[in-house]
Structure 1
Amino acid sequence: MLSGEDTWCQGYSEPDAGSDLASLTTRATREGEEWVIDGQKVWTSGAHHSDWIFVLARTDREAPKHRGISFLLVPLRQPGVEVRPFRMMSGQLHFNEVFFDGARTRADLVVGGVDNGWTVAQSLLGVERGEEAATNPILFRAEVERLVALARQYGKDQDPVIRQRIAWCWSKVEIMRFLGYRILTGWLKGAEPGPETSIAKLYWSEYHTKVTDLALDIMGLHGQVPAGRPPLRTYRTDDPGAANSSASWSTTYLIARSGTIYAGTSQVQRNILAEKVLGLPREPRTQAG
């Protein structure tokens, strides 16, 4: 994995088990020294480029829904696995559907023990949030610097409203940085990843929609030209410093919208923080129909 020879993706969400992940129905049945897997995963980032997938599968269908789930390591390049990419509104291929029809993996490729996958999955999500808390401030600081260069290119760097909005973005990234320090310091003191890491995911995903709004406001109609098209007049359609067309502001603007949905919607993150961090009562469950 460190060398990049093996690429992995995450098999969590299903068509009827997204925010309510414990309702998953993908199942794994033990046959001798193998697990046989049947079911479907969706919104699987990078599956079309991956060699392996870690899969949450139900291994005990009689157990309560948060139990009887195992965390299996499954090779993707085998009979019984079909990967279908989605084309996003940005034109890119990133998310995928993954279908399992008698796919197999070794019986010992279980992380955390059989029927203990829910605990493993929650721990993984906590670590994922913590990793973002460490790296996102660096990435978003570089993006703000590109935003300043974009304002200069379009002659908007002296506009007082634009300057104020850029200052707002800069201050938000600084808050993000200190929030990251707080989370990582807790880990260094021995704290386990917990629900408070949802703060970081909620914060950066909602921030990113605002900074990309500003970029398109700076470019005006030029920002509506898809990346890779010829530039209009003397302006480029992507920003100075973008490594390639997929990093252009017009593309990033579209992708930023999905950040408030994937890896846990903003609504789910707020519920987690309200119930598990602030100790507020659970939201009442209503029955359809």
Structure 2
Amino acid sequence: MLLDELLNDFPRERFLREHYQRSPYSGRAAAERLLKLGSWDTIDTLIEQTECDLLLARQGVPYTGARPRTAKEARELFAQGYTFALRQPDQHHAELSELARTFSAELHGRINLHIYCTPAGHHGFGWHCDPEEVFILQTTGRKDYLLRENTLHPVPLPDAMPNGALAAKETTPVETRSLGAGDFIYIPAGHWHMAQAPEEAISISIGLMAPTLLDVLDLVRATLASNPTWRKRLPSLGRASDLDDARKLELLRTLGAQLGGELQRALSDPMLPLRFLAQTAQFYLRSAGLRGGGR
């Protein structure tokens, strides 16, 4: 398994029990075959031959210029201190696509893959947290990761993310994990972190968005939406309605009770777990697939 390659000789069962979705883990990876994917050759190819999304930032400030189209233009910005974040390169590169799909299949989640390239003595992004479980393989150079537990907004979602100002109010202790080429770190979803590069550094970051109970509810909602009963519009509840406030409230309570009963029946369907696993797995793998312009 790919996860076993990253964990090297650390038991997968112990990692899932003690660290996954709980606490950071770092160590020497056994995934030597992946190091070539995080290289300047890969970065140059993605910049020059694909439409891979490229985000640049220097000391926490985003770059506002045009996307570099040649390796030379990119290297010039890099020399000025800009960190590169190539976002979702797996949609443009066959081997990275296979990496994303394999990881998705092993841990069951949607993949958000990045390649980061940071100049020596710089950092691209300040303190932040991610909604995904983050697995990072250092492929070139060295990087220091500053980590601290998030007690202020510990379970973020993509549509409910804290900003950097909140991170500044955190009081938990800061720890540092140093990674060299071939090392690996896991950062749980919601954990505050920031990376600094004492020397030129390239890394592959695999963000995995594990499903939540809200995703189960979304599947049930889609099922209910296929029934005309639950698509039916409510009567007028505005000022022109012939219902007084008491009757409006009573109507909504009655309909809410009926909907609650239907939700309970849907959630109790013995086939729901199987449908949820099958549909989410298919969606996750499809979202990590190779797009046009790949190699």
User: TM-score of the superposition, structure 1-length normalised?
Assistant: 0.27
Of structures 1 and 2, the one with the larger relative CO (CA 8 A, separation 6+) is 2
- Indicate the structure with greater helix content: 1
